[in-house]
């Protein structure tokens, strides 16, 4: 597979404003919808008075839990089938009207009568009610390797600390939207989703319809980061019900404020972490995580899971527990688990290095895990030590001691580093390729592009396989009319589509080869297929000086073009010979103004090793983007619940701060190419790696700058004064 820089496939459409996002569909007769929200955090809906709303101009219909009774029960319909109020702002009805302002007016005029119950609005109020979930994602919630209690009691040094992380919200720039309508018994659903097939399956289940009667489209997606998934489905179902009741297309778009409550968030955590060392080697780790989940659904990030893998250690105990509160439901958010988990682990490692009197980088090298101890398997590939080396060199880590006391203007300078990691796994995927007689190629796969570059990757893989230039490629995705593709999440898409597209294109290559070699009077006649290569629009013989244009071959025996489908299976975790993991080492320089408490990240060097990199231009963008998300989590982002009411405070971009241009440091990204014989194409995911590790690197740099150890995120002015 080639590694080359190709400009973003859909770039021109996006820079000219011509890329149409699904919420921008404007079918004839469109109704607009608004949600009626609960003003309290816990209770039971008694009644809805719609008498006034129904008389307002433009009012078309109202959808409530009563309408939802027609849907088949499932996790996705649970919240909208019952009368229970679980959190402040929970929708109790959807109103559709001719215009958006009329819908909002009618929603405001709809009076909900709710019997209030005492709400539990903060995790800290009920730590004694914590319980252990069965699983955290695909991992067991609790694990035990060796005897950590004993090892801790025998350790020469124990670092035992509590680290906390705040609630974060995803906030893709595009708010969730759906434009849906019915064509007889068939449904057309244009919506922001990271999983068109998952969405279709849930609609099919809830509405008890054949999946083939549902078309879900998500061709351009204005970001997702984990929140354009299951929590959006209930409100999308309501829009579909409104459309069915009125027999008109309906559009529902969330407000920015609703994106704080309705579509998920990164859960807050309190993590107790104990590290035991003997002679600088880790002998024991205990990592206990308490996190929030809602009263209507359960979710736990895999926060302590990465502690099981990252370092060589014979005695490791990890536990996850959850506290149910009347707050919004958490879901995965970019670098789920690994972002908060590495904050604790990599901060504690820094504390340990300080106490042991050795360089933090050296401590990590000394405790490198040369295999997956948790599963007793080798790594499929692991270039973490190379990441440390390259990152340290490019960053100038060796100057740390000399530079630590430095001051630049008002800024006290600090250096910090940390490790990031994320598993490399694949989903099942199908793809179709269609080669036309003019030499152009259509590539189709029912996945999505959140902005991560999936259009480009699909096109590039297919183009390279057939030796075509990108201007010959058309990519289609984001439509359930296409072959089933992976959901956009878990840094899995590129790794998943690669083998499927390879399988499809190899069929085309075989077909082309058999045509090209069939006629022995022609240049390639009689050549063995394995002798042929596809490049520059030509089919060439490697051994001889013979070649033929691809279009010539097609014109001879495939005038209708050639089509093929390919598929590839999901990772089978039970049968893995080796564990796939992507790694990175993150080095940061920060400035702290100790009098004013302000913290600014000045430069970041990330050295990443995540298999084979398809397109360095887009990969670098992904890494930097991930790092910026991590800076936000480290220094800015915190959604706060008002204890008295359970309402999220400051539901706006003026209050919930995400990094802006002025916050940007200089970025230096090193990509260490790995040959990974265990993974198809050697592809690992890269989207998560930047968003973990950097939080601890920043906290460690704050310590380096001003000698204050901050064990909470975000780190703010008051922490540094």
Q: Which of residues 420-459 bind other proteins (CB under 8 A)?
A: 450-453
Kindly identify the residues of this chain, within the stretch 53-72, that bind other proteins according to CB under 8 A: 56-57
Binding-residue pattern over the window 541 to 560 for other proteins, x denoting contact by CB under 8 A? --------------------
Among 193-201, 290-298, 416-424, 652-660, the segment contacting other proteins (CB under 8 A) = 652-660
User: 83, 205, 600, 678: which one contacts other proteins (CB under 8 A)?
Assistant: 600
Nearest to 586 by CA among 494, 674, 700: 700
Backbone torsions φ then ψ of 302, nearest 5 degrees: -90, 50
**Minimum distance of other proteins from residue 106's CB (angstroms):** 8
User: Within 13 Å, how many C-alpha atoms sit on residue 211's CB side?
Assistant: 13
Number of residues that bind other proteins (CB under 8 A): 95
Q: Does 368 bind other proteins (CB under 8 A)?
A: no
CB nearer other proteins, residue 51 or residue 70:
51
User: 143, 164, 246, 255: which one contacts other proteins (CB under 8 A)?
Assistant: 255
User: 543, 652, 675, 707: which one contacts other proteins (CB under 8 A)?
Assistant: 652
Give the end-to-end CA distance of the chain in Å, rounded to a whole number: 52
Q: Does 716 bind other proteins (CB under 8 A)?
A: yes
CB nearer other proteins, residue 263 or residue 679:
263
Q: Does 407 bind other proteins (CB under 8 A)?
A: no
**Minimum distance of other proteins from residue 457's CB (angstroms):** 13
CB nearer other proteins, residue 360 or residue 632:
632
What DSSP letter does each residue of 398-440 carry, written as one string? Answer: GGHHHHHT-EETTEEEEEEEEEEEEE-----EEEEEEE-TTS-
Among 267-275, 340-348, 465-473, 626-634, the segment contacting other proteins (CB under 8 A) = 626-634
Nearest to 1 by CA among 716, 710, 682: 682
Q: Does 598 bind other proteins (CB under 8 A)?
A: yes
Q: What letter would DSSP give residue 471?
A: G
Q: Are 313 and 246 in contact (CB under 8 A)?
A: no
Nearest to 233 by CA among 256, 216, 247: 216
Binding-residue pattern over the window 69 to 98 for other proteins, x denoting contact by CB under 8 A? -------------------x----------
CB nearer other proteins, residue 570 or residue 666:
666
Among 72-80, 183-191, 274-282, 638-646, the segment contacting other proteins (CB under 8 A) = 638-646
**In this structure, what token pair is assigned to residue 186?**
């068939």
Q: Are 63 and 103 in contact (CB under 8 A)?
A: no
CB nearer other proteins, residue 159 or residue 628:
628
CB nearer other proteins, residue 89 or residue 337:
89
Kindly identify the residues of this chain, within the stretch 203-232, that bind other proteins according to CB under 8 A: 220-223, 225
Kindly identify the residues of this chain, within the stretch 137-176, that bind other proteins according to CB under 8 A: 170-175
In degrees, to the nearest 5, what angle opens at C-alpha 394 toward C-alphas 392 and 399?
60
User: 2, 3, 15, 129: which one contacts other proteins (CB under 8 A)?
Assistant: 15
What DSSP letter does each residue of 562-583 carry, written as one string? Answer: EEEEEEEPPP-TTS-SSB-EEE
Sheet hosting strand 429-435, strand order edge to edge? 473-477, 441-445, 429-435, 562-568
Q: Does 17 bind other proteins (CB under 8 A)?
A: yes
Q: Does 391 bind other proteins (CB under 8 A)?
A: no
User: 430, 636, 684, 711: which one contacts other proteins (CB under 8 A)?
Assistant: 636
The region, left, alpha or beta by phi > 0 then psi within -120 to 50, assigned to residue 137 is: left
Three-state DSSP at 316 gives strand
Kindly identify the residues of this chain, within the stretch 23-42, that bind other proteins according to CB under 8 A: 24, 26, 34, 39
Indicate the length of the chain as a whole number: 721
**In this structure, what token pair is assigned to residue 626?**
């991930």
CB nearer other proteins, residue 187 or residue 221:
221
- The Cα-based distances of 514 to 259, 561, 567, 585 in angstroms read 55, 14, 22, 48
Kindly identify the residues of this chain, within the stretch 604-623, that bind other proteins according to CB under 8 A: 617-618, 620-622
Nearest to 705 by CA among 342, 364, 403: 403
Q: Does 654 bind other proteins (CB under 8 A)?
A: yes
């Amino acid at each position: 597979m080639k590694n080359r820089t190709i400009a973003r496939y859909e770039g021109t459409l996006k820079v000219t404003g011509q890329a149409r996002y699904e919420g921008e569909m404007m079918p004839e007769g469109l109704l607009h919808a608004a949600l009626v929200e609960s003003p309290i955090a816990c209770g039971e809906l008694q009644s809805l008075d719609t008498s006034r709303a129904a008389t307002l101009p433009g009012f078309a219909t109202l959808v409530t839990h009563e309408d939802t009774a027609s849907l088949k029960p499932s996790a996705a319909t649970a919240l909208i089938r019952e009368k229970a109020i679980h959190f402040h702002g929970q929708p109790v009805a959807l109103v559709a009207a001719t215009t958006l302002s009329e819908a909002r007016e009618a929603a405001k005029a709809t009076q909900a009568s709710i019997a209030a119950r005492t709400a539990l609005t903060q995790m800290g109020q009920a730590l004694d009610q914590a319980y252990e979930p069965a699983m955290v994602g695909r991992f067991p919630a609790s694990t035990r390797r060796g005897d950590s209690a004993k090892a801790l009691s025998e350790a020469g040094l124990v670092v035992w600390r509590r680290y906390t992380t705040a609630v974060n919200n995803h906030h893709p720039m595009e708010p969730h939207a759906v434009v849906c309508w019915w064509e007889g018994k068939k449904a057309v659903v244009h919506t922001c989703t990271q999983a068109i097939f998952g969405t279709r399956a849930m609609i099919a289940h809830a509405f008890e319809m054949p999946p083939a009667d549902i078309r879900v489209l998500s061709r351009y997606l204005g970001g997702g980061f984990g929140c354009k998934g299951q929590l959006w489905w209930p409100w999308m179902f309501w829009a579909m019900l409104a459309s069915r009741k009125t027999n008109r297309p309906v559009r529902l778009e969330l407000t920015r404020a609703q994106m704080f409550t309705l579509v998920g968030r990164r859960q807050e955590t309190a993590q107790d972490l104990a590290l035991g060392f003997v002679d600088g080697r880790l002998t024991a780790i205990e990592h206990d995580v308490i996190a929030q989940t809602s009263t209507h659904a359960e979710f736990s990030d895999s926060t302590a899971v990465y502690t099981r893998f990252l370092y060589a250690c014979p005695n490791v105990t990890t536990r996850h527990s959850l506290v149910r509160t009347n707050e919004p439901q958490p879901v995965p958010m970019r670098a789920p688990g690994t972002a908060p988990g590495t904050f604790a682990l990599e901060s504690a490692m820094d504390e340990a290095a300080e106490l042991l009197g050795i360089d933090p980088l050296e401590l990590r090298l000394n405790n490198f895990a040369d295999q997956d101890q948790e599963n007793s398997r080798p790594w499929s590939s692991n270039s973490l030590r190379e990441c440390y080396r390259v990152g340290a060199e490019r960053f100038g880590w060796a100057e740390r001691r000399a530079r630590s006391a430095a001051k630049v203007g008002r800024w006290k300078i600090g250096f910090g580093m940390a490790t990031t990691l994320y598993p490399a796994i694949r989903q099942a995927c199908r793809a179709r390729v269609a080669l036309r007689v003019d030499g152009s190629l259509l590539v189709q796969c029912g996945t999505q592009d959140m902005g991560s570059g999936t259009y480009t990757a699909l096109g590039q893989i297919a183009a390279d396989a057939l030796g075509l230039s990108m201007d010959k490629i058309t990519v289609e995705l984001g439509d359930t009319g296409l072959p089933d593709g992976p959901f956009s999440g878990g840094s899995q898409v590129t790794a998943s589509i690669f083998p499927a597209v390879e399988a499809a294109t190899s069929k085309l290559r075989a077909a082309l080869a058999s045509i090209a070699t069939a006629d022995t009077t022609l240049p390639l006649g009689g050549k063995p297929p394995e002798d042929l290569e596809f490049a520059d629009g030509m089919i060439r013989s490697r051994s001889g000086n013979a070649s033929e244009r691809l279009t010539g071959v097609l014109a001879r025996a495939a005038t209708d073009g050639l089509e093929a489908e390919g598929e590839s299976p999901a990772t089978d975790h039970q049968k893995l010979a080796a564990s796939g993991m992507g790694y990175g080492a993150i080095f940061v320089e920060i400035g702290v103004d100790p009098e004013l408490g302000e913290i600014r990240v000045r430069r970041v060097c990330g050295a990443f090793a995540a298999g084979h990199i398809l397109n360095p231009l887009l990969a670098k963008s992904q890494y930097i983007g991930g790092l910026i998300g991590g800076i936000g989590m480290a220094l800015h982002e915190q959604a706060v619940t008002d204890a008295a009411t359970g309402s999220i405070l400051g539901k706006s971009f003026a209050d919930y701060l995400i990094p802006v241009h002025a916050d940007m440091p200089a970025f230096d990204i090193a990509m260490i190419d790995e040959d990974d014989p265990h993974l198809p194409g050697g592809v690992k995911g890269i989207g998560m790696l930047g968003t973990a590790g950097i939080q601890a690197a920043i906290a460690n740099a704050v310590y380096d700058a001003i000698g204050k150890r901050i064990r909470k995120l975000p780190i703010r002015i008051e922490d540094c004064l």
